[in-house]
Amino acid sequence: MFDIGFSELMVIALVALIVIGPERLPRVARTLGHLAGRLQRYVSDVKADINREVELDELKKMRDSMQQAATGFECSVTTELNKTEAELNAAAEGKVEAPVSPAQTDAPAIEEKPKA
């Protein structure tokens, strides 16, 4: 965070001892410790909030992509269903023969034996 070494801390402590005095120094140090703790908690709370917002944005993007995929799938299924319905209606009216599936063309013909 701050690039302060041990020697710099010793100089700061010595200046604080001279300026504040030995009677008030422990109280000031305790107050500074409490303030530093509050600052650390505040910074960690802000980081957590930012991380939650980033995760929320990612989840919203994922939800939107899933909705687009579902909409595309629904459209393709609906068009195929309408196409099949139109073909079946046309076949029922006798205009066009119903399309034969590949499974029906590959199946061997079953011959009936005459009953004796």
Structure confidence at residue 53 (pLDDT): 95
Structure confidence at residue 101 (pLDDT): 58
Domain ranges, ordered by start, for the chain: 6-89
Max intra-chain CA distance, the chain: 127
Structure confidence at residue 30 (pLDDT): 93
Structure confidence at residue 21 (pLDDT): 87
CA torsion angle for 107, 109, 115, 116 (degrees, to 10)?
Answer: -120
- Mapping DSSP onto H, E and C, the string for the chain reads CCCCCHHHHHHHHHHHHHHHCCCCHHHHHHHHHHHHHHHHHHHHHHHHHHHHHHHHHHHHHHHHHHHHHHHHHHHHHHHHHHHHHHHHHHHHHCCCCCCCCHHHHHCCCCCCCCCC
The segments of the chain whose pLDDT lies below 50 read none
Amino acid at 94: G
Structure confidence at residue 22 (pLDDT): 86
